[in-house]
Amino acid sequence: MKQLGVFCGSSSGARPEYTAAAVELGSVLVERGIGLVYGGGRIGLMGRVAEAVIAGGGEVIGVIPEFLIEKELAYEGVSELRAVDSMSERKAVMAELSDGFIALPGGYGTLDELMEMLTWTQLGIHQKPCGLLNTCRYYDGLIAFVDHTVAENFVQAEHRSMLLVEMEPTALLDQMESWTPPAIDKTKWILGLEDA
């Protein structure tokens, strides 16, 4: 992986551990020579992970919609700041630039970004690993829900394996670097037609 897309909150959240995890992830990216692609803001967890990469001398590309430049206080100190027209374009640009994706704790936007990247893997649009950094077990409820989708036959078991989960950045990056994408079963859509 040369560049990693990181999705995370423009808030710092309720626990100092979330900020510590963002800083640690940024430091680990620098140690491994992996550039950061992120949402372009200088506040919240977004700002902390970017600061950590910049402090270590790493490359940071921020991608931010024009209408969020003032709200999320665009980080002018990044290697490259790309202003885009919409949230959809932000995701598309981040997907194009990144070799994999990690979600730190965050809200609706973080979930939206992660789920779209997972869906693109499921559909064979790309073959890039997606991981959750489950700091303080923040994502336990989401992980349980994803397991529920498998139990209820809405997600295939092999597609469940597309979502990598670890509590430490180093362990998550190790998983991502050795990850093999699942085979895409094109009959999935045909077999489901009898239920339509």
Domain ranges within the chain, ordered by starting residue:
3-195
Task: Tell me the two tokens of residue 82.
Answer: 């790309």
Instruction: State the average pLDDT for the chain.
Output: 93
**Res 70: pLDDT:** 76
Q: Which residues are CB-neighbours of 112 under 8 A, at least 6 positions away? A: 87, 91
**Res 29: pLDDT:** 98
**Res 193: pLDDT:** 46
In this predicted structure, the answer to whether residue 76 has a pLDDT above a threshold of 50 is yes
Q: What is the pTM of this model?
A: 0.92
What residues pair up with 131 in beta bridges, in sequence order? 102, 164
Architecture of the domain spanning 3-195: 3-Layer(aba) Sandwich (3.40)
**Res 182: pLDDT:** 82
Distance separating alpha carbons of residues 71 and 88, to the nearest angstrom: 18
In this predicted structure, the answer to whether residue 191 has a pLDDT above a threshold of 80 is no
Q: Which residues are CB-neighbours of 180 under 8 A, at least 6 positions away? A: none
Q: Report which of 28, 20, 41 is spatially closest to residue 1, judged by C-alpha positions.
A: 28
Say which DSSP state 183 is in.
P
